[in-house]
Amino acid sequence: MQFVLLIHGHFAGFINDLLFITETENNMTREETFKMLSEYVDYLLENSDAEHPMWNIENVLSGKPNKWNYIDGCMITSVLSLYEMTGDQKYLDFADRFVGWFVQEDGSIKTSCSIARRSSEKRPVSTVP
């Protein structure tokens, strides 16, 4: 089963559904399933940073610099949900480092999205004679 799906939807509900499926179909206990998921998420976080997120490996392999995107947003939301569920500080610290990489000194978001660039550009004010 591919656990990359945990970046989508309502995270807590997904975890509960996944726990039920693995318990009934794979004869795994809730504790075994939670341990397996925890190890997988820990692997992703240990091998990821904002420039090279393992959950968005297609972007990493493309050689293009990472920019803030929907997939990263879903994953960071999931990581924050894990923090709320477990109270484990490592999840909050990872989310803070990851998101912090995108925030510039002036508060703008580091991205190559043309919409973000256009909104931050200073345009000359035109005057009507």
Q: Where exactly are the structural domains of the chain?
A: 3-118
The rounded distance, in Å, linking the Cα atoms of 126 and 129 is 10
Q: Tokens for 73, please give them.
A: 């947003």
Residues in the chain, pLDDT under 50:
1-10, 113-129
Which candidate, 95, 71, 99, 101, places its Cα nearest to that of 81? 95
Written in H, E and C, the secondary structure of the chain is: CCHHHHHCCCHHHHHHHHHHHHHHHCCCCHHHHHHHHHHHHHHHHHCCCCCCCHHHHHHHHHCCCCCCCHHHHHHHHHHHHHHHHHCCHHHHHHHHHHHHHHECCCCCECCCCHHHHHHHCCCCCCCCC
The pTM for the full model equals 0.66
97-110 pLDDT, tens per residue? 999 999 888 888 87
70-88 pLDDT, tens per residue? 889 888 988 898 888 889 9
